[in-house]
Each structure stands twice: as C-alpha cells, then as structure tokens.
Structure 1
Amino acid sequence: MHTQTRKVAAIDLGTNSFHMVIVEESEGKGIVEIDRVKEMICIGRGSISTKMLDEKAMEAGITTLKHFLVLASQHGVKQESIIAFATSAIREAKNRDVFLQRVRDETGIKIKVVSGLEEAQFIYYGVRRAVRLSTEPELIFDIGGGSVEFIIADHQKIFLLESRKVGVARMLERFITTDPIADKELSLLEQFFAAELFSSTEKSRELNIKRAIASSGTAQNIARMIRSATGRDDEVTLNQSSFTRKEFQKFYKSVIAMNASQRKKLTGLDEKRVDLIVPGLVLMNVIFSLFKLKEVMISDSALREGMVVHYLKNNWSDCGERRLQLNIRRQSVIELGYRCDWNKIHSEHIAALCLQLFDRLQPLHGLSSHERELLEYAALLHNIGTFISIASHHKHSQYLILNGELRGFSPVEINIMANIARYHRKSPPSTKHEAYSQLKSKQRRVVDVLSGILRIANGLDRGHRQNIVSIEADMTASSVTIGLHAMHNPDIEIWAAGRMKAWLETVLERSIRFEARDARKR
C-alpha cells in the first residue's frame, strides 16, 4: 500500500534570528526533519525603543527569506506548504504591515504574526517533540530577543502560559550601557527580571516544580559554553543535555566580569551573541534562583517545530493527535532507521528476540525497564551502519546513533545505545575503545549485559528468515539453557548463536547452551 509523503517548511521570524526547518511527514515514518537553517538577522535591533523596523534589517530579512524559499523548493516543498510566523519585534513594530506586504510582494510568503501566548503554546508543542516530558508539571522557558515565554506543563496538559517582554535584545537596549556590565546596571536588571517573573514563580511554587527545560539560541549557547568549560565537548548531542546550578554559577561568575573581546574567545558562543549573551546569562541566573532549580535541560526544538505540529494537526485530517503524540523516543529511533534505509523486518525481529531474552534472564542480570527500553532501541538500530558500508558496519552503526540527533534521550543514554549496537558483532566491549571507556562502571555493566543479549539475538536470526518464534530459559547455579521454538529446524540459528554466546557467558558467569523445542507447545 502506498503511503503518502508530505513536506512542510516552517519559518520563524524572531527578533534575533530567522530560522527555517523542513520536515517530511508520512504514516510509516512520522515527522522526519530534512533540513534546517538559521540566519542572525537581528531585525529587532534598535526597534525595541523606536517601535520601527530598520530599513537595512528589513532588506536583509527579505534576502534571507528568498534564500529560504530556494532551499525549500529544492527539497520539494510546495509554496502552499511553507508557513511563516513572526514574533516579538515584528509584532510590536509600527511599520510591521509595510514589512509584511514587502515580503508577500517579493517572495509570496504570507507571514502570520502570533501573539505571545500563541508563541508559548507553539513552543510547548515543539519541546514536547524533542524532550521526554514527565507526568509531573515542569517549567519550560524560551529566551528570545524581544520576549521570553514561560510554560508550566506536563506531557499532556498545560498549567501556565506566559509571555514576558524581557528578551535579551530588549534588555540589552534598555539596561546595559557598560562593558563589562556595571554593578548598578546588573542590579537593576536582576530586579526587573524578578518583578516580571513573579506570577510564573508563584505558580511554580504552587505546583512544586523540580525541573526546567530551556529552548532557544541563547540557552543553547550557554549550554555549549558550559560544556566546553567543564570538559564535556565529547557529548555530541545538545538536546536533552543539562547543566547544574553549580556548573552554571561557576561559569556565570567568570563570564559576567568579561568584556566583549574576552567573550568573543569563548568556545560555543555565536559571534553575533557576544553582547546579547550578557542579559541572557543574568536572566538564567535569576531563573535558577527564583525557581529554586537544581538543573536546566536543553531542548533543541521550540517554536518552529511546534508550528509544524500545529499545522499538521489542523491541515491534514489523517494526521491526528495520536500520531503527533507518539512516543518521541521510539519515533525518533524509527526516523533514524528510515533515514539509514534499514532492514525494518529483520531489525524488529532482533528487537523482539532481545526483549524475550532480557525478560527470561532478568533474575541473573537484575536490570530495570529503563535498560530494557534502551536495549530495544539499540537492537532496532544495530544494523544501520550498513547504510555506510557492510565492512565494519557495527562501528558505523555506533557513529550514526551518536550523531543521528535522536530526540528524547540524554547524551548518556545515546552513548549506551551506540555502544550496545557497536558490540553486536566482532570484538566485545573494551576500555581500549574511547566511547566505552567514557562510561561510568554501572553504565559499562549495562552495555556488557545488553550487548551480550544482542549478540545472541543477532545469531538467532543469522539467515534473516525470522525463524525463531519464542524463547524460554532454564537456569541453574552454573548454566543457562535457552529453549527455542521455531517454525523450521533451527540448526543454523543454534550454530550462529553458539558462536556469539561467549561474551554473555562471561558477563553472567554461566555456561549457555541452546536447544530446539516443539513449536506446537509454545
């Protein structure tokens, strides 16, 4: 049956940056990102006080939008499937209609100006697609150039939506005239932030908020700089990574005393944010303090991704709420599999065998449902390295998982899954291998057990014929007998699994043997 594939380009015209994300949506693959692009236009520069968009900024904005259009067209996006939303700076400008009309005349793009509350709601949709939200209420905040949105929500329900005019470009223009920032200006800025955030902090206290998720370029820049300062540059993904209050405050104290030329040397800071980062850091410090947070997590999805979700839900009748609220971790894994032209049937069978082995051997390994989930996803992706090359494809699988921009996972979880896939064949785990050596001892044991299970499961589908239907396990103090129910004689599977069992025998300190059992008795 043919599955219809559709493409959407979403453009976010922010105070500091114009962003575009291009996605492809279909029933089998879900929402897959094809491309994304960002240009620091700073269309809000000077307009905060004058309420007038600068002529040069408008020209730069229109030129950028023309480039975005060409890129969207090259990816096969139809004009009617290009959506564009404007936020704070354009929203407040007296000459916004002039700019909007010029954009429409020169590009054909019809820009919708969204309210602060609409912006906050779209941000929630976007974050929910990138970060695994809890069943308990959490704080989400997006630091923009003109405004900052505060959302308190769980994975299903919104408790608070607020948009405050405390964006970094606005605060820089209004409060900061010194470099480094003078104590008096710093104090005034902190007091202004505290007053503006009062209702959000009250609601947070009422709902006992324990975790915060930050989106936007400012938050991502802060996270990158902290990661560099703390020697964590080896973490490939920024999404769902986090920094603690202690890490932030150590970094904050050193950077807030710097001047612009010193800040320019900081690793992870966009050149055009050298001045904007100062009010961003002050706001982050106030948020840590007022909300009594221990850490902040980063989401690399926000407004534009939320725009896509909203558009799909409202314009394509067969793309309902259920499909848009799929488990983001599983959906992200499946998207990566499709991008790497995976063997879906084989991978799903291997994953099913892994889960059966995990469950049958649970009394021996003692791992939890969390590790079980990581095993399933690693099994689904264990063979994607063949997309690059059959030779050493286990190493290519590791690389693709590490660099595949999986959503909803922490960097540590991604590293664990990548290592499990890495060791599904050839040599077993070794501290001589860099990615494995970076794991803590408890995490290494997880990789040891789960890679051992995956190695055997891989052997049990050696001929890619999905012959093994179900698995049993009988255990003694020194041995494990794995009973196999198969559709056909499983000699080839038993032979192959026997060649892959040595590592799990070492890890579980048990000998392992396989035997065929009557499929009719399963």
Structure 2
Amino acid sequence: MTDHYAALPATTRLAAIDIGTNSIRCIVVEADTQGTFRVLDDEKAQARLGEGLSETGIICDAATRRAIDALTRMKRICAGLGAEIAAVVATSAVRKAGNQTSFLTQVKAATGLTIDVISGEQEAELAALSVLHNFTMDQQRFAMADIGGGSVEIIVAVGDHTEHLISLDLGAVFLTETCFTHDPVTSSELDKVRKLVRKELKTHGIGKGLAVSCLIGSGGTMTNIAGMIMAMRGEQYESVHRYEVLHSEVVHMLAMIARKSQKERLLIPGLNPERADIILAGMVVVDELMRRLRTNLLRINGQGIREGLILHSLQQRQLLPLRAPSRDWREALIEFGRSCRFDEQHAKQVCHLAETIFTAVAAGYELNERHHDLLIAASLLHDIGYFISYDRHHRHTYHLIRHADLFGFSPRERELIANIARYHRKAKPKISHESFAALCPDDQQLVRRLGGIVRLADGLDRRRNRQVKQLECRLTDKNLEMTLKSPREMSVELYGARSKSDLFEQAFDRPLLISAKSSD
C-alpha cells in the first residue's frame, strides 16, 4: 500500500459522465492522495433521450444525435483539462430502449466512448455514495431519492447501513408522457399520476416501519423544487446544495404549478425553463414520497449520481477508503480555516470565549443548540479574510464563507455564518448593507446577537496570545457581568472587550460590566 501511494502523482484529474433520460452530465475533478477533491468543471446537456420512449420503445434519431453532440463536446472538455474519463454510464432510458445496442454502437463509433449501462440498484448505490459524502447522518433513519427522467431510485438507511433499496419506473419524463395529455393537466390526470405513484410506493414497501428524519433528494426535480422555494421565500444563496424545504412548501408549490399551463410555468421564478413540461410529475413523486415516509423535511443534494461515479472511481484507485469515514463538521471548519492560513490558536480561543458567553445568555434569549453551532463556525472562521488582505478583511471573510461549501450547513446557515463573522469588527449591521438587508427579521436579530458575541470574544483576545485563561459570565436582570481571570495583567484585553462591546449591548439590550481578577 505504501509503495502504491508513493507512485501516485500529487494530484489526479478524473471525469465521469452520467447519461440520463433527460440530461447528460459530465463532472471533472482534481483529486489528491489525501482523499479530497475539487470540481474543475460540471457540464450539462439536455439530450432528452427519453423523448417518445414510452410510446415507441426506442431512442429516436434526433435524441441520438443530441447525445453524440453533447458527448463529443464533453470528451473535448475532459481532454482540454487533462482528465482521464473514468466512467461513462447510462441509466433508465438506455436500459429500456429496444434499440440499446444500436445506440451504444453509434455513440462508440462517433465518440470512441464505451458506455456502461447500469442497473437501477447501481444508480441508487451511486446516489447514496454522494449523500454520505455530503451529509452527516450518523444514527439517523433517513431516506434518499434520486429522481431522473425515467426512474426514481430510493434508499432507506440508518446511518451508512442500507435498510431498503429499490428503483422504480416513476421518472419525471416517463410519468409526463404516460399520464399527461392536456395542458394544463386535468384533475383526473393528476389523480391518475398520484394513484400510480402511491400504488408503486406501497407495493414496494416504501413507508413501512418508523418515520424517517428527512428525505435527501438529488436530480433535476429536486434542485428545481429548491430553486422555486428559494425564489418564493425571497432568498438568494450561492447554491441549492444542502438547501432545506418543508413538505408544506412542496404541497403549496405543487398546487400552484398544477393550475398553470406549460407556457405559464416558464415564468415561475427559480424553475429551469427546460423542465417546465416535466416538473409537475416529478413533484407528485416527491409529495407522495414524503407522505409515505412521514417526513416534513426535504434536504437537497446538489451533486447526485455523477459525484457518486467520481467517488467510486476514487475508491477503485485507492484514493478514498471503501467505507467513508464519519465526517465531523467542526473538523471540516478547521480544515477550511487552514486552507485559508488562519491563525488557528486565536480562532480556537475566540471560539472558546464565545461559547462561554453564549452559555450565559442562551436560556434568557431562546438561543438553541443549532444557534450554538452557527456561533462556533463564525468564531472559528471570523478572520479568514486575512487570506486575501488585512484591509477590509471582515468583508473578505463574508465572501469566503458565503462561497464555501461548509460541510454540515445549509445555504441559509452558511449565509448566517458569513454575516455573523463579518460583524466581528468595524461597522455594526445596517439595513444599508445588502447582505444583511436580504435576511428576514428573525435572522437579522440572530446575526446581531451572535455577531455581538463573536465581536466581544475577539476583543477579549486582542493580543492573540490567549491571555484570558478563564472567563466567568453571569446574566442578571440588568446587565451581563463578566470577569476575566489570568496570572498576567489584562489591560489590553479589558480595553479590547470594552471597545468591542457595542453590538453585544445593543443586541441583548444589556449593559456589560467587565472586570479582571488575577489567578494562580
């Protein structure tokens, strides 16, 4: 094993292509020998291989040409990036096609690519690989679903142990072509799809046993649901990856879409126009799945099968362990901080002091455990803007966090962390600040409070040498009493805390009384 790793280059560039019923996706990554990788390119083409498939049973000539054009372009992109194409797989449409052999032969002749037609169960396993790489699900019973054009792959699991795995012919394109003939759809057509989906899920045991904590969804239907809900909420995040949607929001959005024609759906904010004709069928599947699984939470995995292909390829090359280790979001934050060359000791000291302050005020201000997690993240990363420049580094910190893929946090939470960290210095939050103004009133108040704690904790380590060895905080009816303890003098720390107490006092509406005491 040691010799194998010694022979490997510092980085390896790999590509994987997923040929689905509706679209073809190509992902290119650069991986290192430490088991990490970064995405270099993610190309998508709407080939619509499933067009007319349910009626004719074959992939039509036009769809074949679209696929060949897309695959030729993707192969050239991979070559330009110096990436080895590690896997090219086809799913439901090619699996079902009566002219499968002819299609594969034509693609091979035109592009040189050999396509591996995988089973629905293999699709589900690849989707699961991606989920477990992106979400911490230890000791939770949860479900995963990847909705494609031709099929849906469903897994029910406890942690990383699969309880139930199945592939069903309930894809968005298949259901649309099979059940919808009117535009807008009629109530009877919608009922037909619901009954079909419900029957299939029940027949195959989906929903038996205990309720699941959440449904984690991937595929175009899922990401478009997130996009529409995000637009409906008036939110603007960098990505829908790890975005969270409530079942009630899916139900309301589905009812609204069902009343619209395809032309009217083109105007729905957050919906990709290329999915306007098939989104309704896909949303029915999501709704029925959440009902059967008895969960109110849908979490979006923006990666899916193509990332699963990359992870599988890395495992085959011994660049990743066969069993993914449990990822800890705190460790991921530290890794991200190190990549930005942050002052780790200062960051951990600020985090420790911030946690002490948080504990003192949490109960009195309804701050919960998840708020505590956001505080930890913002405390650890508050100074990473130094990586770009000292000048305005609080603003650089905001942008670095906002655009980062923080493991374990949703897009909303990432935006909150970025704002909390930003206000550790300089101006307090203002409505004239675009990023702050975009938050809802409750989130604005949370940023003020947690930002005030981080700002104060940063002042308590003004010399960046962990001078404060112990911090005692006591919340009274009138103020917060804070006592700093250290064997050394603490005039600078007292000054730092007092000069940075403004946001805290404003957010909690409590004066801060700070004193210092010598300790052994």
Q: TM-score scaled by structure 1?
A: 0.84
Residue 470 of structure 1 deviates from its aligned partner by 6.7
Residue 315 of structure 1 deviates from its aligned partner by 1.9
Relative to structure 2, which stretch is displaced further, 173-182 or 364-373? 364-373
SS of the equivalent of 1:207 reads coil
User: Closer, same or farther in 2 for the Cα pair 1:70/1:376, shift >3 Å?
Assistant: farther
8 Å Cα contact 2:358/2:453 also seen in 1: no
Partner of 1:319: 320
Partner of 1:260: 262
SS of the equivalent of 1:396 reads helix
Deviation per residue, 1:234-282 (Å, 9 max, x gap): 3443223233333333322222122222122222222222211232233
Partner of 1:423: 423
8 Å Cα contact 2:206/2:292 also seen in 1: no
Q: 2:72 aligns with which of 52, 66, 75?
A: 66
Structure 2 residue 189 is matched with structure 1 residue 189: no
Which residue identity lines up with residue 342 of structure 1 in the other structure?
C
Relative to structure 2, which stretch is displaced further, 491-500 or 246-255? 491-500
Partner of 2:374: 374
Partner of 1:238: 240
Q: 1:33 aligns with which of 33, 36, 39?
A: 39
Partner of 2:511: 509
How far apart, CA to CA, are the structure 1 residues paired with 2:499 and 2:376? 22
8 Å Cα contact 1:354/1:453 also seen in 2: no
Partner of 2:340: 342
8 Å Cα contact 1:358/1:372 also seen in 2: no
Which residue identity lines up with residue 396 of structure 2 in the other structure?
H
Q: 1:50 aligns with which of 48, 56, 61?
A: 56
Q: 2:273 aligns with which of 271, 292, 317?
A: 271
How far apart, CA to CA, are the structure 2 residues paired with 1:156 and 1:61? 35
Structure 2 residue 94 is matched with structure 1 residue 87: no
8 Å Cα contact 1:357/1:471 also seen in 2: no
Partner of 1:474: 472
Relative to structure 2, which stretch is displaced further, 450-459 or 84-93? 450-459
**Superposition pairs of residues 80-159 of structure 1, within 5 angstroms:** 81-133=85-137, 135-159=139-163
Note the residue ranges of structure 2 that are not aligned, 5 or more in a row: 1-5
Q: 1:365 aligns with which of 361, 365, 370?
A: 361
How far apart, CA to CA, are the structure 2 residues paired with 1:485 and 1:446? 35
Which residue identity lines up with residue 189 of structure 1 in the other structure?
V
Partner of 1:404: 404
Structure 2 residue 500 is matched with structure 1 residue 500: yes
Residue 162 of structure 1 deviates from its aligned partner by 0.7
Structure 2 residue 20 is matched with structure 1 residue 14: yes
8 Å Cα contact 2:50/2:59 also seen in 1: yes
SS of the equivalent of 1:483 reads strand
Relative to structure 2, which stretch is displaced further, 152-161 or 231-240? 231-240
Residue 83 of structure 1 deviates from its aligned partner by 1.9
Structure 2 residue 205 is matched with structure 1 residue 207: no
Partner of 1:298: 300
Note the residue ranges of structure 1 that are not aligned, 5 or more in a row: none
Which residue identity lines up with residue 320 of structure 2 in the other structure?
C
Which residue identity lines up with residue 172 of structure 1 in the other structure?
T
How far apart, CA to CA, are the structure 2 residues paired with 1:407 and 1:359? 20
How far apart, CA to CA, are the structure 2 residues paired with 1:484 and 1:320? 45
How far apart, CA to CA, are the structure 2 residues paired with 1:319 and 1:503? 45
User: Closer, same or farther in 2 for the Cα pair 1:327/1:193, shift >3 Å?
Assistant: same
SS of the equivalent of 1:174 reads helix
Q: TM-score scaled by structure 2?
A: 0.85
How far apart, CA to CA, are the structure 2 residues paired with 1:238 and 1:26? 26
Which residue identity lines up with residue 364 of structure 1 in the other structure?
A
**Superposition pairs of residues 431-446 of structure 1, within 5 angstroms:** 431-437=431-437, 439=439, 443-444=443-444, 446=446
Partner of 2:253: 251
Partner of 1:354: 350
SS of the equivalent of 1:284 reads helix
How far apart, CA to CA, are the structure 1 residues paired with 2:473 and 2:304? 50
Which residue identity lines up with residue 214 of structure 2 in the other structure?
R
User: Closer, same or farther in 2 for the Cα pair 1:74/1:290, shift >3 Å?
Assistant: same
Partner of 1:170: 174
Partner of 1:309: 311
Deviation per residue, 1:385-413 (Å, 9 max, x gap): 44555432312322332233434322332
Residue 453 of structure 1 deviates from its aligned partner by 4.1
User: Closer, same or farther in 2 for the Cα pair 1:67/1:468, shift >3 Å?
Assistant: same
How far apart, CA to CA, are the structure 1 residues paired with 2:491 and 2:15? 52
Residue 88 of structure 1 deviates from its aligned partner by 0.6
Relative to structure 2, which stretch is displaced further, 402-411 or 134-143? 402-411
Q: How many correspondences in the alignment? A: 504
Residue 428 of structure 1 deviates from its aligned partner by 2.8
How far apart, CA to CA, are the structure 1 residues paired with 2:486 and 2:446? 25
Taking only aligned residues, the RMSD between alpha carbons, in angstroms, comes to 3.3
How far apart, CA to CA, are the structure 2 residues paired with 1:243 and 1:471? 43
User: Closer, same or farther in 2 for the Cα pair 1:391/1:132, shift >3 Å?
Assistant: same
User: Closer, same or farther in 2 for the Cα pair 1:440/1:265, shift >3 Å?
Assistant: closer
Deviation per residue, 1:163-212 (Å, 9 max, x gap): 00111111222222221223333332222212211145x44231222522
SS of the equivalent of 2:208 reads helix
User: Closer, same or farther in 2 for the Cα pair 1:31/1:381, shift >3 Å?
Assistant: farther
How far apart, CA to CA, are the structure 1 residues paired with 2:484 and 2:275? 59
How far apart, CA to CA, are the structure 2 residues paired with 1:360 and 1:3? 45
